[in-house]
Amino acid sequence: MVGTSYASKMPLQFHRTVEQIGIWSASSADGFSFVVSYASRTGESLLGRPGFMATWRPLYANRPAIRIVGAPFKTFAEAEEACNSTLKVLRNDRRA
């Protein structure tokens, strides 16, 4: 891709935000924030519909998060892949 930096091609690197509960976050070099959270019916993490919820929002805009289609996911890897796929779409939309 001409004119695209290496950092904007890299996949998201998630880090655990809160140790005791399942919340991970990542942000892209081009201004998008992603969060994956784990919920269960028993409350061993967040209480709610079981699975990994994935959301995104613009990093520097005070806007609510948008749920990524397909969430909740069965595994963290599925949620992470959905976030990376969403990031690709957002980047393509920004270029259009």
Q: How confident is the model over 10-28, as pLDDT tens digits?
A: 689 999 987 778 999 999 9
- Asked if residues 46 and 68 have their Cβ atoms less than 8 Å apart, the reply is no
CA 45 to chain centre: 18
Q: State the pLDDT at residue 95.
A: 78
Give the tens place of pLDDT for each residue, 24-41. 999 999 999 999 999 988
The structure's pTM equals 0.83
Give whole-number Cα distances, 78 to 29, 51, 71, 83, in Å: 22, 10, 9, 9
Q: State the pLDDT at residue 3.
A: 45
Q: How far apart are CA 34 and CA 26, in angstroms?
A: 5
The contacts of residue 21 (CB under 8 Å, 6+ apart) are: 37, 38, 45, 46
- For the cut 90, the answer to whether the pLDDT of residue 7 exceeds it is no
Q: State the pLDDT at residue 94.
A: 81
Give the tens place of pLDDT for each residue, 37-89. 999 888 777 888 899 999 999 999 999 999 999 999 999 999 999 999 999 99
